[in-house]
Structure 1
Amino acid sequence: MEEYKEVFENESRRELEKIDITSLFVDFCQGLRKLWWLILVLTVVFAIRGYFATSTSYVSQYVAEATVSVTSSTGSSAEDMAQIFPYILSSGVLADVVAEDMGLTQIPGTVSAVADEGTNLLTISVTSSDPQVAYNTLQSVLKNYPEVAEFVVGKTKLTVLDETGIPSDTRREEVIRGSYKRGALKGAGFGFAILAFYVLTRRTVKSKKELKNQINLMDCGSIPYIQVKKRKKKTFNNSLCLLNERISQGYVEAIRKLRIKVMKDMEENQFKSIMITSSIPGEGKTTLAVNLAISIANQGKKVILIDCDMRNPSVAGVMNEQETHPGLGAVLKKETALNDALIRVETGKGSLEILYGGNNDEKNTKLLGTKRMEALIHTLKKQADLIILDTAPSGILADAAVLARYVDAALYVIRYDHTKMQQIREGIQSLVMSGIHLIGYTFNGDNQSRGRGYGYGYGYGYGYKRYSGYSRYGVKKESDSYRHYGNAPKGTQDQYGRIIKE
């Protein structure tokens, strides 16, 4: 019984989480910031569509009216006459008389009558698509109505007090104006319906609290959100790279804190190789891998960074490496010697060498699970203090799980408002099954801890079947281009970047 009660409470808690109004409102506002342009486009398109649809199909209706005073020998009021009028009209007698008077087979329009309450005034209206016909029909009705009504209410006299004359279409502008307003409302409504569907189905992770409750991994810290500035010309000065002197200091500090936690875990376990992966493309794992490698190298370490994502090699783009270098695939196929493929990057301290991914070739990914890859990692461990491998997303491809057999540890990248919890679980599970040591996760692009400074023109690729190359960045090789963050007190730093007082 207690077990069922616990299950029921858990289900109730999940339902409450699902209908968190505050969370939904925040999601709606964030979705609106992303899709406002779609709502605007739909509003304009539907408004234009409504305007042209109405203006091209609209048929003008002309209304000829006359206000008359009614005098009946039986003392019938105008209200009585207005009630009797439809009967007289529907009987067909008046219609036949008017049609015969106009030399037609039937009345070319509609006729109606409305009485002014408390008076003997009656307003007779004739509606037709032709203004002259509407006027002629009204005149015929006024002439023949007393003769026809005499058989019902006795002798009747109509005295015309006012009439419109030959009418004009005064409703055309009003109808057309209303058409594009209605179209705009329909477009906006359709747009908001799409927004609601987007918000309700795109339940992405937006806080570390969600991650803490759902996955059992150590929180290695947050990397702040940096506003993207798209620029036509990609240069070093708009690169999200620690070698860029204009990098946001908040971003530098976040990478430093991540480095401390990662290196502490690696050294405690005497590990020398770590892979950086994520659930899906676009979470910023490559940028993080590059900057983590630079940060560790600047602590006097010898670091080797390997681009193992051979379907979508992106490390060269982050480093803005314009030259073509032999990639990992060429080394594994023994087309190029390892020493020739390793490219040294000046970081100011320590040593950083990069084994780029080369040309994207899906066939090369089969080499990741071979003994050659295992031997390569074993060889590089002897040459460096730490090896960092940038791998394909573990949530959609098996590459990371295959490499995990040869790598000591893994760091998982989760991007703010980009990945669903189910995708995160699946990606982590694929790594856990391989038996690799998971250090923890880092929350990338955290909107709650925005880095201050100028924005950078970086972006991430999307797509699942053949996810395209991530945006290229600009970096030029400069010696001693990296600067330590902040005005640190005098002293030296230990391997974790902490200040040791003199």
Structure 2
Amino acid sequence: MLFTETGFPRVPDMDMIMETMGKTSGEETKEDKSMEDQRKEIENREDDEMEIDLVLLFGAFWKSFTRLWWLVLILILAGAGGFYAFQNLSYEPLYASSATFTVATGDGENGTYNFYYNSNTADQMSRTFPYILDSSFFRSALLERLGTDTLNGTITSETVENSNMVTMRVESPDPEDARKILDTALEIYPETARFVLGDIQFNYLNEPETPTEPFNHIGLRRTLALGGGAGALAGILILGLTALFRRTARNPEEMQKITSLRCLAMIPQVRFKARKKQKKKKISVLDKRLSFGYRESLRALEIRLENMMAKEGGKVLLISSTASGEGKSTLAVNLSELLASRGKRVLLIDGDLRKQDDAGIIGIRDSAGLADIVKGEKTIREGLRKLKKSGIWFLGSRRTVKQPASVLSSPRTGELIQALKKEMDYIIIDTPPCETFQDAGMLSDYADGILYVVKYDFIPQRRIWEGLSFLGGRSARILGYVFNSYPESVSEYGYGRYGYGRYGRYGYGKYGYGGGSYRQPYGQKNAYEEEAGNG
């Protein structure tokens, strides 16, 4: 069975559970200790997985940022401009007039007043003064003295604790009203407060003045900073949610949710040093300037595929992927070169007749392709070309075919591949993406095995599942999948958990040469900086 139906973990066998329940008490004690050790190991693994998930989440966020940084910039500009426009549209200038004074009490008839130097009486005054100012009696008296029904402003007071110093402040949209309201309030306050504070008198430290400019200026820098900051937060939130809910394939555990296929290898991402006006560089496994990890990953994949094909007596390997840009063409070329370097007669066929790129990748001019031979326009001898540098045989053209289905479904295509199998040790067919066209399905009928390429964090899991399901119903067996462009920065998948470390899960253990996907060490990075183009 190629695919899991639900993606949920498999439950233990019920016979095993019943057998465990029927053990003697002594066996139960040993089993309990063993289960306790297993429980602790599982908890440790879960902690490691949580750390890895955080690293992967941050990596997904950074990837989203590198692709959508322009969205964050637009939100910053929109937030700054929008908040500035809102401030200007809703802006109402306010003017403030204030007076600072000390309060003295005494006998109004004799004209003698004393300041509140006693701390108790000063504290009482500081609590009572604002209360009178907010009372309805004071407000009615103020409106009556002003000769208006509404107050065009607000009155506040601030007292210094344990003192008789008071600051009265009036804010109003009209500077004249602010001064007039303050003067009137200062005038009537001693009279309205007589029943509470007795006879009082103000000794002014700061005389009231008519304001000349508003106090609530719109600060350009502050407004732009607040608006831009809000836009940046919105952008970061969007990118964070995108990274959190991005259902792409980023490790074998996530692939297990959609398929039971083995991960045969993880091919590290290749980066080149950024240069202006540089041409698209070819990624060749024979280039020793590439990282050790990249070359060793491909060598491990090549050995594994060779063993699997030899076990089934197959020669024709079909390489496909879900969508374009996942690097299947580059992988097909490099596998061909590796097999040829081991003395094998290898033929690479460009089966993507709609967009034939392999000739450009290996650096040859236009020549006869598969369609030319099937249609009888060229002979096999005229179509096949052997490359001196790599030693591989190549069949492909740079010209697109308008109706490739008629070529791929022709009986002559099958006859041609059968004839070439007698001359070659291996035939590698590079196909179009399987989610777009039926071409890959037609070519799989001529293959002995299929290798599926999955680019790291590139395609949603649902689309990968659909592509695998499409190819899974064909006669050729899917040997497994390979992770391509896997970031070396995810150190947990190097010498640690998925390398030669504690668990060795994707090293030489369970998924290594013993029966599953090979996880090789990445080695040391070189000076390459810019991500290479994918085939």
TM range (shorter): 0.7 to 0.9
Q: Does the 8 A contact of 1:54 with 1:176 survive in 2? A: no
CA drift at 1:289: 0.1
Describe the shift of the 1:152–1:9 C-alpha distance in structure 2 as closer, same or farther (beyond 3 A): farther
Are 2:60 and 1:31 aligned? yes
Taking a change above 3 Å as real, the CA distance of residues 119 and 189 of structure 1, as seen in their structure-2 partners, is: same
Structure 2 CA distance, aligned partners of 1:333 and 1:40? 53
Partner of 2:244: 200
Q: Aligned to 1:172, what secondary structure does the other structure show?
A: coil
Q: Which residue of 1 aligns with 2:315?
A: 272
Correspondence for 1:359 among 373, 380, 400: 400
Inter-CA distance 35–416: structure 2 relative to 1 (3 Å threshold): closer
Separation in 1 of the partners of 2:207 and 2:479?
90
Picking from 409, 413, 422, the partner of 1:373 is 413
Quick one: distance in 1 between partners of 2:253 and 2:129? 77
Q: Using the alignment, how far apart are the partners of 1:78 and 1:300 within structure 2?
A: 99
Measure the CA separation in 1 of the matches of 2:376 and 2:185: 103
Among 444, 450, 453, which residue is 2:484 paired with?
444
Please list, as runs of the form range in 1=range in 2, the aligned pairs for 1:471-482 lying within 5 A after superposition. none
Mapping of residues 45-444 of structure 1, within 5 Å: 45=77, 48-49=80-81, 52-53=84-85, 56-57=88-89, 58-71=91-104, 77=125, 79-88=127-136, 91-98=139-146, 100=147, 107-146=151-190, 157-163=201-207, 165-167=209-211, 168-172=213-217, 178-208=222-252, 211=255, 215-235=259-279, 238-242=281-285, 244=287, 246-321=289-364, 323-347=365-389, 350-356=391-397, 358-359=399-400, 361=402, 363-444=403-484
Residue of structure 2 equivalent to 1:482: none
Name structure 2 gaps, 5 residues minimum. 1-8, 14-41, 109-120, 488-493, 495-520
- C-alpha distance 293-137 of structure 1, shift in aligned 2 (>3 A): same
Cα RMSD, aligned residues only: 3.9
TM-score by structure 2 length? 0.70
**Does residue 41 of the first structure (1) align with residue 73 of the second (2)?**
yes
Alignment partners' CA distance in 1, 2:51 and 2:406 = 47
Deviation at 1:94, TM superposition (A): 0.9
Identity between Structure 1 and Structure 2 (%): 29
Rate the CA distance shift 1:450–1:230 in 2: closer, same or farther, 3 A. Answer: farther
> Aligned partners of 1:207 and 1:302: how far apart in 2?
34
Task: Give, in whole Å, the separation in 2 of the partners of 1:7 and 1:242.
Answer: 39
- State the 1:34 CA deviation: 1.9
Say if 1:352 and 1:148 are closer, same or farther in 2 by CA, change over 3 A. same
Matched residue pairs, number?
Answer: 443
Deviation at 1:30, TM superposition (A): 0.5
Q: For residues 223 and 328 of structure 2, what CA distance do their matches in structure 1 show?
A: 51
The letter of the residue matching 1:304 is: L
- On the 8 A contact 2:101/2:206 being kept in 1, the answer is yes
After TM superposition, give the deviation of residue 291 of structure 1 in Å.
0.8
Q: Is 2:526 aligned against 1:453?
A: yes
Asked whether the equivalents of residues 308 and 357 of structure 1 are also in contact (C-alpha less than 8 Å), the reply is: no
Q: 1:340 to 1:52 in 2, by over 3 A?
A: farther
Cα distance in 1, alignment partners of residues 227 and 401 from structure 2: 48
Assess if the C-alpha contact under 8 Å between 2:81 and 2:224 holds in 1.
yes
| Residues 1:94 and 1:209: Cα distance change in structure 2 (over 3 Å) | closer
Structure 1 portions without partners, runs of 5+: 1-5, 461-469, 471-502
The 1:196–1:279 alpha-carbon spacing in structure 2 relative to 1, beyond 3 Å, is: same
387-396 or 161-170: which moved more?
A: 161-170
Please state how far the C-alpha of 1:293 moved relative to its aligned partner. Answer: 1.1
Preserved contact between residue 368 and residue 395 of structure 2 (Cα < 8 Å)? no
Normalising by structure 1, report the TM-score.
0.74
Deviation of residue 290 (structure 1)?
Answer: 0.6
